[in-house]
Chains A and B, each alone.
Chain A
């Protein structure tokens, strides 16, 4: 019996090399992956890959002959069955038999998979598509078994399968469509595959290049998602948030959770010019970022409230303010309602980890002036600003950690308590204000807090004494002379998930971190009608005697405490969090403070109009100008040329080279030049007058880039820009693109016709023109649905003439003569060529109604049919 073959040897070889080998490689990789996740596979992926390889190779070779699948598969199963039966006979011992049969099962499954795969490659056209989908499904299952979700893990598990899927579908089709009798078969295949590979590689490269940042952001997001997941598991919370670029800031809400996460990194350094009455003992103040005035009982979260009455929170974005230019908000001072014992205090804040747009300052801040960082400190401090505060003399960080033995401080403490004791009630303040800041949730659970507060403070006459009573309650000892409350970062959670965590803290657990103490204090105070709120920010520790007034802030200093409103004196900080007795680690030391900046004589703010990076010169249109602390502003910007040879260029992210500067960027240039020192400012002058006086080009020492939406560089702060996806917009874009594509597809026959028609027009009788005319006529007839369809040109032309009354047959004969004869055309024949086309099209047009023509020209199939070879 001779069995005919389906494919010849070349094709089989191509299938083995180009389809089977990559498939086996990928399956080996998948098996390796699967072996990591499934015990039953016994970690023997090499052997398993070999089983599969055997199956696929056998099937491809076998099915290249005209064998039927069902009979051969049945035969295979019979072989399996008897092999399986024989295992039972050969193996001794029950366990051996079981082990061997499992091994055999794995073999049978993998060999069969290879077998089916080989059959599919050999016989079925669309098998590769199903196969690729199947492999991807397997990969999804495997990936879901792995524990870490990182971008690299995802890519490593999906990219090979994805690339393989694309490759196998393309290659299978390529092998299927090629003519194996082609002489340079191998070269043909290689050429195609190499081209395809190049395109694919370029595509992947471009994708990775373009979306690399996004991948990282996504990875981070996933990582955070994972972190969130971990947090939910351990119920962990942090007092600070981490921005996408790695910088740190306070959070605008704090949830009461079972555990607190604290980092040890330096966040910022500040110089605070607040001293006690003696003028030299530094008086540290807590740095405030937010006020929490609301409490969400459902999620047990303290939140900021934009509708807070008499908002006294000054929250500018220092990164958006030009250096040396100040932003001031005097309504804050008004809203602070503090008239007694207040003064203006200055603080210089140098950021390290703190985000560029974060602003922290002791309350009540009303002024922000970004400053440049001195050149030698640029690596250490990314940016700096000066803050001014309307500070109460009665405010101080010395509240809980009262330095015993320091007479002056004890005196101060006594003094301020005395002053504050003068406030006995809150009658003078507006009712709505009082109502807002004494609001408590209506719930029996909070009544319990109220009862406790009243019990603790039953002997305290004034609000301050009540506050001190609460503080003392937290510091009090129980009957065994043990501290009643403890500080811990891991207080744990009540057994009931919905239970009130503050009650759990106050009455059962009695362990917690700052948010618990602040929260409990807040509700006890509010229960007694004392207006209060929680402040979030950083607590300040005075650790340095070398640099008085300088304070270092680390991540673990992120803090929450209460503020009480004393009429006339305003909001005063009180910290009820007790010290962590179990903390053994040494505190981080203070470092060396950065140098003070020089006085800037000229500061110009505006946009770059031209820049020359080689000579480091630029011109800018000045919109705002500071000259010897005199502020000039102009609606009509004036140009100023600047010499940046010695200038330090910086952005929010730190120092950058001069070459970063581009036309149109928003910058602020500052000059400390001696040449400007002796000049004086005249308030009557206009900005143009000042600019006329300064030397040209003006020497600049500092250039700060203000990052605006338009000038932001794509590689920087990309994550800040990630907008939420507007799905409607995406959908609209997709629909529009799809519509354009569909219109293009339908218009294609007509567009092609226009090209062909344009070439055929005219009365020339050259062979070239005859060719175009003939082709145009064929295209037109074909598009109208009268295709040649297995007729010779003569017959076809005759039929056309019969149908439309044209002279196609005559022309066709002349054309044939032109094409196949050596003889030149006679004059009459040339006339036939010249006069054929236009009347032809016209008479066809006349015969076919417009509606039918339109419909025919929308039919892309006719066009495809015209250009493709018949099967």
Chain B
């Protein structure tokens, strides 16, 4: 009974958060849901799209919506604009000589935060990229002999710009794997766009006065509850099938790894929770598969990029839809 109340509360909290973000970001419900999925799955997200589609505002709004540990403080939100001359120490911080105490003290870099917006991640040198990604994977930073744990809630929103590719360092496949989801932000539809133009002042106002609807504990609790979501065996089998099919498909050069499979399961559960359910369904699988897998696969050509995964998924969905009820 207590559990069901907790679940009800969780589902309400999620809706609250989404509603709050939607006050600022309009017509982007699926993207918001996917970002929250990554958040609840304790993962990170890569957003790719043209400038000016609201990526940064999105990250900011999310951060502002969550209250920090102390009352009335918001969670620690940092934004790093990645450039080619950025150095790893600019991210993680450095030892600085303290004149007063005559010793080196560690000055924490922007990584020590709760929500990190890594803007245009592909503009930084591979050295910086790998420094960031390592932190994302380990949730800690080691400098010299000291290991500094990162915040319990550490969520990275990285963005990538598909235009102006000159002088960029595209992320290697192994590092892309660290991002749980990769989403395309995209433009809003025309009606919503008109709506935004008419009300841009209001939106501006909303952004500046974002309400803190949840606190960090709520998020951590949601992350825990996401793990409790029921996943039917057939869907686990479906994930296994999809992952192994990507390895066999003639148009896919590099298939998904087992780690991606585990990430896949985590994301499925989190997504179901975001959808307001305590069990995963076929719809979740259908909606989340491209975001989870697309950036992890290397295709033979452009045509295959559009078709291969869709055909694998379609085949699996067909199988699932014909399944008899197991009980």
Contact surface of A with B, Cβ cutoff 8 Å: 181, 767-768, 770-771, 775, 778, 788, 790-795, 813, 816-823, 869-871
Closest to B244 in A: A181
Asked whether, in the complex, the Cβ of A869 is within 8 Å of the Cβ of B317, the reply is: no
Distance, CA A791 to CA B235, complexed state (A): 17
A-B contacts besides A181-B248, A793-B281, A816-B283, 9 pairs, CB < 8 Å: A771-B324, A771-B325, A775-B322, A790-B317, A792-B282, A816-B281, A821-B277, A869-B318, A870-B311
Over the window 229-260 of chain B, the binary record of Cβ atoms lying under 8 Å from chain A Cβ atoms (1 yes, 0 no) is 01010110000000000001000000000000
Closest chain B CB from A764 CB (angstroms) = 13
| List of 10 A-B pairs having minimum Cβ-Cβ separation, nearest first | A792-B286, A821-B279, A794-B283, A816-B281, A820-B232, A767-B325, A792-B283, A790-B314, A793-B282, A820-B279
Over the window 308-327 of chain B, the binary record of Cβ atoms lying under 8 Å from chain A Cβ atoms (1 yes, 0 no) is 00110111011101111111
The contact of A870 among B283, B286, B314, B325, by CB within 8 Å, is B314
Is B280 part of the contact surface with A, judged by Cβ < 8 Å?
yes
Asked whether, in the complex, the Cβ of A795 is within 8 Å of the Cβ of B279, the reply is: no
Q: Which residues of A contact B322 (CB under 8 A)?
A: 775
A-facing residues in B249-295 (Cβ within 8 Å): 277-283, 285-287
Asked whether, in the complex, the Cβ of B281 is within 8 Å of the Cβ of A819, the reply is: yes
Asked whether, in the complex, the Cβ of A822 is within 8 Å of the Cβ of B230, the reply is: yes
Asked whether, in the complex, the Cβ of B283 is within 8 Å of the Cβ of A822, the reply is: no
Q: Which residues of B contact A771 (CB under 8 A)?
A: 324-325
| Size class of the B contact interface (CB-based, 8 Å) | 20 to 34
Distance, CA A521 to CA B272, complexed state (A): 113
Q: Which residues of B contact A767 (CB under 8 A)?
A: 325, 327
Q: Which residues of B contact A823 (CB under 8 A)?
A: 278-279
Closest chain B CB from A858 CB (angstroms) = 24
Q: Which residues of B contact A768 (CB under 8 A)?
A: 325
Closest chain A CB from B255 CB (angstroms) = 14
Distance, CA A791 to CA B289, complexed state (A): 12
Distance, CA A780 to CA B4, complexed state (A): 38
Q: Which residues of B contact A775 (CB under 8 A)?
A: 322
Distance, CA A822 to CA B281, complexed state (A): 12
The contact of B232 among A790, A795, A813, A819, by CB within 8 Å, is A819
Asked whether, in the complex, the Cβ of B327 is within 8 Å of the Cβ of A870, the reply is: no
Asked whether, in the complex, the Cβ of A818 is within 8 Å of the Cβ of B325, the reply is: yes
Q: Which residues of A contact B313 (CB under 8 A)?
A: 790
Closest chain A CB from B281 CB (angstroms) = 4
Closest to A812 in B: B283
Asked whether, in the complex, the Cβ of B283 is within 8 Å of the Cβ of A793, the reply is: yes
Distance, CA A768 to CA B325, complexed state (A): 7
Distance, CA A794 to CA B283, complexed state (A): 6
Most interface-central of A788, A792, A794 (chain B CB within 10 A)? A792
Given A820-B232, A869-B318: A792 in contact with B279 (beta carbons within 8 A) = no
Closest chain A CB from B96 CB (angstroms) = 53
Asked whether, in the complex, the Cβ of A817 is within 8 Å of the Cβ of B279, the reply is: yes
Q: Which residues of A contact B315 (CB under 8 A)?
A: 869-871
Q: Which residues of A contact B235 (CB under 8 A)?
A: 820
Over the window 220-235 of chain B, the binary record of Cβ atoms lying under 8 Å from chain A Cβ atoms (1 yes, 0 no) is 0000000000101011
Contact surface of B with A, Cβ cutoff 8 Å: 230, 232, 234-235, 248, 277-283, 285-287, 310-311, 313-315, 317-319, 321-327
Asked whether, in the complex, the Cβ of B325 is within 8 Å of the Cβ of A819, the reply is: yes
Asked whether, in the complex, the Cβ of A819 is within 8 Å of the Cβ of B311, the reply is: no
Asked whether, in the complex, the Cβ of B321 is within 8 Å of the Cβ of A788, the reply is: yes
Closest to A797 in B: B283
Q: Which residues of B contact A816 (CB under 8 A)?
A: 281-283
A-B contact pairs, 30 of them (CB 8 A): A767-B325, A768-B325, A770-B325, A771-B324, A771-B325, A775-B322, A788-B317, A788-B318, A790-B310, A790-B313, A790-B317, A792-B283, A792-B287, A792-B317, A793-B283, A793-B317, A794-B287, A816-B282, A819-B325, A819-B326, A820-B230, A820-B235, A820-B279, A820-B282, A821-B278, A823-B279, A870-B311, A870-B314, A870-B315, A871-B311
Closest to A820 in B: B232
Closest chain B CB from A866 CB (angstroms) = 10
Given A770-B325, A788-B321: A820 in contact with B311 (beta carbons within 8 A) = no
Closest chain A CB from B230 CB (angstroms) = 6
Closest to A867 in B: B322
Closest chain A CB from B259 CB (angstroms) = 22
Asked whether, in the complex, the Cβ of B286 is within 8 Å of the Cβ of A795, the reply is: yes
Q: Which residues of A contact B282 (CB under 8 A)?
A: 792-794, 816, 819-820
Distance, CA A795 to CA B286, complexed state (A): 9
Distance, CA A778 to CA B278, complexed state (A): 26
Q: Which residues of A contact B324 (CB under 8 A)?
A: 771
Closest chain A CB from B227 CB (angstroms) = 16
Distance, CA A601 to CA B280, complexed state (A): 98
Closest to A817 in B: B279
The contact of A793 among B234, B278, B321, B326, by CB within 8 Å, is B321
Q: Which residues of B contact A819 (CB under 8 A)?
A: 232, 281-282, 323, 325-326
Q: Which residues of A contact B285 (CB under 8 A)?
A: 792
Q: Which residues of A contact B278 (CB under 8 A)?
A: 821, 823
Distance, CA A770 to CA B324, complexed state (A): 10
Asked whether, in the complex, the Cβ of B321 is within 8 Å of the Cβ of A778, the reply is: yes
Closest to A768 in B: B325
Asked whether, in the complex, the Cβ of B310 is within 8 Å of the Cβ of A820, the reply is: no
Q: Which residues of A contact B318 (CB under 8 A)?
A: 788, 869-870
Q: Which residues of B contact A790 (CB under 8 A)?
A: 310, 313-314, 317
Q: Which residues of B contact A181 (CB under 8 A)?
A: 248
Q: Which residues of B contact A791 (CB under 8 A)?
A: 286
Distance, CA A829 to CA B7, complexed state (A): 19
Closest to A774 in B: B321
Distance, CA A821 to CA B283, complexed state (A): 13
Distance, CA A790 to CA B312, complexed state (A): 10
Distance, CA A617 to CA B199, complexed state (A): 111
Distance, CA A778 to CA B317, complexed state (A): 13
Distance, CA A817 to CA B313, complexed state (A): 21
Distance, CA A818 to CA B322, complexed state (A): 14
Distance, CA A795 to CA B327, complexed state (A): 25
Closest chain A CB from B219 CB (angstroms) = 25
Closest chain B CB from A780 CB (angstroms) = 14
Distance, CA A822 to CA B324, complexed state (A): 15
Distance, CA A27 to CA B17, complexed state (A): 76
Distance, CA A823 to CA B278, complexed state (A): 9
Distance, CA A351 to CA B132, complexed state (A): 113
Closest chain B CB from A709 CB (angstroms) = 56
Closest chain A CB from B194 CB (angstroms) = 22
Distance, CA A813 to CA B276, complexed state (A): 12
Closest chain A CB from B265 CB (angstroms) = 14
Closest to A791 in B: B286
Distance, CA A816 to CA B319, complexed state (A): 14
Q: Which residues of B contact A822 (CB under 8 A)?
A: 230, 279
Asked whether, in the complex, the Cβ of B283 is within 8 Å of the Cβ of A795, the reply is: yes
Closest to B315 in A: A870
Closest to A181 in B: B248
Distance, CA A869 to CA B280, complexed state (A): 24
Closest chain A CB from B243 CB (angstroms) = 15
Closest chain B CB from A7 CB (angstroms) = 12
Distance, CA A822 to CA B234, complexed state (A): 13
Distance, CA A816 to CA B317, complexed state (A): 13
The contact of A820 among B281, B287, B321, by CB within 8 Å, is B281
Closest chain A CB from B245 CB (angstroms) = 11
Closest to B4 in A: A823
Closest chain A CB from B306 CB (angstroms) = 12
Closest chain A CB from B272 CB (angstroms) = 9
Distance, CA A639 to CA B306, complexed state (A): 88
Closest chain A CB from B135 CB (angstroms) = 35
Q: Which residues of A contact B327 (CB under 8 A)?
A: 767
Closest chain B CB from A811 CB (angstroms) = 13
Q: Which residues of B contact A793 (CB under 8 A)?
A: 281-283, 286, 317, 321
Closest chain B CB from A547 CB (angstroms) = 90
